[in-house]
Amino acid sequence: MDNTLIDILVDISQYVLTTEYSSLVDEYMLRLSFLYSLPLKNLLEINCDVRQRIFVDEVKRFEKKEIKSTLLYLDDFGQITPEIALQVFSILSNQLARNRIQGNLFQHLAYLTEELYIGLITGSSISESDKRKNEMLISETLLDFDFASVKSDNTSFRLLHYIDTV
């Protein structure tokens, strides 16, 4: 990994993790690397400083806000399988969509991580049988990403359920 990219991920980690969670730095860096290294690398390659700063700022605010939820499944990042990857993106997209409903918009974060997710589900990492088996999860995740990035006002079933409870 490029030193600049590592520096950005470490900066995010230091911003989000308080001393209370300092023992989880290694596991948390796996999460940050998995979710954000490719979008950051792309932003660094095209020298888009403004978009990069906006993206990093959104990542910091989002990760800080969701840290307690993140800790519940942090150990999943030690051994990412296609099924775990689908679950991770599903959780992320739903958190981002719920944040939009609460008035906390993370539009760039949602857009760029959705691009990563689309690459995952259209690539060869996930078998066709796994895609068919997880068709509903994939669909709900895409709907949540589109809602969170303000590309659509259509909501997933799980987000409709959340809206009904608030």
Give the whole-angstrom CA distance, residue 68 versus residue 24: 12
Residue from 51, 165, 162, 157 nearest 100 by CA:
162
Contact 17, 28 (CB under 8 A): yes
pLDDT class of 156 with cuts at 50, 70, 90: confident
Sign of dihedral through CA atoms 30, 32, 38, 40? negative
Residue pLDDT, tens place only, 97-153: 999 999 999 999 999 999 999 999 999 999 999 999 999 999 999 999 999 999 998
Residue 62: how many other CB atoms lie within 10 Å: 21
- Polymer length of the chain: 166
